[in-house]
Amino acid sequence: MTSSPQTSSPVVIDTNIVLDIWVYQDPATPSLLNALEQGMLQWLATPPMREELLRVLDYPHIAKRREIAELSAEAVLAHFDGLAKIQAIAPKAPYICKDEDDQKFIDLAVAHQALLLSKDKQVLRLSNRLARLGVAVRKTWPLEKILNKYSFMKIYMIKWLYLSHYEQEEHHEQHKNDS
């Protein structure tokens, strides 16, 4: 992994997104994982975040999903350990989340003015307040939205090229018949 402080943007990733990456293999996460592996994003985490992940990996519905994917809890933790930069526990942020379990993610993001990736409703409700502190809260890494727009544009362009080609052939055929 090539990590450079000048090009790396800090990101704090909620446990549900971590599960999306490795356990659920959510199609919205490959570019996030690539950005982490390439060092474009610097994943910040704390020991309590790792402990939460370890605990959640053993929840029955998640353990069943890991079993289907033939993925051990140790393998997920190895990914976490290989990519996350462990930080000291951050001081309490000025805004408090109603879900105590999510406060540690908010605190760390505020302390480092990092992007916070979370799908938790209580965290998302704080988006505007956290923005005042330099923290952007997103459900997905922003590149996914760009790629999705690009895919739409790509389909549109293919359709446009096809129709343009068809119209040109039709015009050529009509011109040929007029002669």
Other beta carbons less than 10 A from residue 153's beta carbon = 11
pLDDT at 114: 95
- The total number of structural domains that make up the chain: 2
> Do both 115 and 154 map to the same domain?
no
- Domain check: are 18 and 104 in the same one? yes
Q: Give 26-41 pLDDT, tens digit per residue.
A: 998 999 999 999 999 9
Above 50 in pLDDT, residue 158? Answer: no
Across 116-125, average pLDDT: 95
Give a three-class secondary structure readout of the chain: CCCCCCCCEEEEECHHHHHHHHCCCCCCCHHHHHHHHHCCEEEEECHHHHHHHHHHCCCHHHHHHHHHCCCCHHHHHHHHHHHEEECCCCCCCCCCCCCHHHHHHHHHHHHHCCEEECCCHHHHCCHHHHHCCCCCEECCCCHHHHHHHHHHHHHHHHHHHHHHHHHHHHHHHHHHHHC
State the Cα–Cα distance between residues 137 and 126, nearest whole angstrom.
8
Residue 1: pLDDT above 80? no
Reported as a pLDDT band with limits 50, 70 and 90, residue 173 is low
59 with 104, same domain: the answer is yes
Task: Looking at the structure, tell me whether residues 104 and 133 fall in a common domain.
Answer: yes
Do 28 and 95 have their domain in common? yes
State whether 162 and 132 are in the same domain.
no
Bigger pLDDT: 7 vs 142:
142
Question: Do 84 and 117 fall within a single domain?
Answer: yes
Classify residue 158: in a domain, yes or no: yes
Question: For residue 151, what are the domain limits?
Answer: 142-179
Do 135 and 152 fall within a single domain? no
Question: Residue 129 belongs to a domain with what CATH number?
Answer: 3.40.50.1010
What would the two tokens of residue 111 be? 């302390």
The string of pLDDT tens digits covering residues 46-96 is: 999 999 999 999 999 999 999 998 999 999 999 999 999 999 999 999 999
Closest CA to 107 of 39, 52, 48: 48
